[in-house]
Chain A
């Protein structure tokens, strides 16, 4: 218990003094997860819009697949990417293994299904409501999708935030493809795992506090967005 209290105060000290090592780790975490979420939105929004409002063969199986992929185990994703990116793997020549790029890729694989599935749900609900209006206006599929995405913008923010939460919190995928190399691929979650196993509880706890604060911040933003979306939707 004594250890815990000491560690706790040391952790606060690290946070308050903006310890350079700690800040580097936090910065890389935000960069990797931010880039992964951006990449996921680039793929997940159009995919989700197509799944939610489109009519094409294979739509339903794909929707089931995307929904199931929301629960992909990070270590399995990490391992698969590891095999693809390792020297002997098909993507080995890219030299991405143990780089932040590999970590971004891994998190994007985890986050894209979340963004796509939630987008599909949001767009499908709106599409149901707007279908007749669109038909009487003679709108093209593209114009319909653009209208649906814009009108769902507040609800879609929740999809982005849900994806960001997943990206920031996962450890299994980035530790396998990133390797947790100090100053190169060490992010908050992998650092916490390492420092805890080494008994360096101050740094682990400091990181844990920041991670929790970010998680709280994201959830608060999520609820705020929902409230705004509901107010605008219901009038």
Chain B
């Protein structure tokens, strides 16, 4: 109940955003194994709190996210972030579809991350406890991370990403393997993150999730932008034939 109030408040808060986009992509080309994955993709993402990237399998969503995270370099085109190059101050954190957790306790995973992000030793424990509370994982602090439930593992991965104090949080289908209850918990966390000023770019197949969370939808098809619309318009009146077909469930004609 508390959570739903929070969601309502955040929804109000959201409309007020008038920031420059977090990232500008221009004519991005990406090839993998000789195959074109992204073909001349141009877009501006992360102007509002949550941008969702949608599209059928193989459209290039995950590769686009990896490119934004710096895990892949484009073969052509440019990526411009809203901030000048100051990697220590402006961080981009990525949460994978399947959480990659260290073979340590929940707390150990957070302490490790905080150390990598240069948080001084004396402040690590208190910051880790804050993050545990943020992810509702306080009572799991000593549990081996890989013994957590799937939902808890993904929450841990998300709060670990928050340990970077990121400006931009990239989420690759964070709830694709989770039950509705765990999905709701992750979505609440995402909104809590945006309330702290973090911008989120989310890849999802879940139209309901995109509708609940996203301000704008970038719809990819075959490595290109088929449509980029505000979320409400995208779901009510998709402008592209591909998006309309995708939303109706019969994409490939």
Q: Residues of A at under 8 Å CB distance from B?
A: 129-130, 132-133, 135-139, 143, 147, 150-152, 232-235
Contacts and interface: CB of A to CB of B under 8 A. Distances in A.
Contacts of A138: 87, 116
Interface string B184-200: 00000000000000000
Contact of B69 (A136, A147, A232, A235): A136
A137 B93 CA distance: 8
B103 A232 contact: yes
Contacts of B104: 150-151
Nearest to B145: A235
Nearest to A233: B103
B100 A235 contact: no
A152 B102 CA distance: 10
B148 interface: yes
Instruction: Count chain B CB atoms within 10 A of each CB in A130, A137, A152, A232 and give the residue with the most.
Output: A137
Contacts of A137: 113, 116-117, 164
B146 A232 contact: yes
Contacts of B102: 130, 147, 151
B70 interface: yes
A233 B146 contact: yes
Contacts of B87: 138
A79 B87 CA distance: 57
Contact of B146 (A130, A143, A152, A234): A234
B96 A232 contact: no
B52 to A, nearest CB: 20
27 contacts: A130-B102, A132-B71, A132-B96, A133-B96, A133-B100, A135-B70, A135-B71, A136-B71, A136-B92, A137-B113, A137-B116, A137-B117, A139-B116, A147-B112, A150-B104, A151-B102, A151-B103, A152-B103, A232-B144, A232-B146, A233-B103, A233-B146, A234-B146, A235-B145, A235-B146, A235-B147, A235-B148
Contacts of B213: none
B134 to A, nearest CB: 19
A152 B144 CA distance: 14
A233 B96 CA distance: 19
Nearest to A234: B146
B89 to A, nearest CB: 13
A145 to B, nearest CB: 13
Interface string B83-96: 00001000011101
B112 A129 contact: no
B177 to A, nearest CB: 15
A167 B113 CA distance: 39
Interface string B111-131: 011001100000000000000
B60 to A, nearest CB: 17
B116 to A, nearest CB: 5
A169 B92 CA distance: 53
Nearest to B93: A136
The list of the 8 closest CB pairs from A to B, nearest first, reads: A235-B146, A235-B147, A151-B103, A133-B100, A136-B94, A137-B116, A135-B71, A139-B116
Contacts of A147: 102, 112
Contacts of A232: 103, 144, 146
Nearest to A154: B103
A232 B101 CA distance: 12
B17 to A, nearest CB: 25
Contacts of A150: 104
A137 B70 CA distance: 10
B144 A235 contact: yes
Contact of B100 (A132, A152, A234): A132
A234 B116 CA distance: 24
Contacts of A133: 96, 100
Contact of B116 (A143, A152, A235): A143
Nearest to B104: A151
Contacts of A151: 102-104
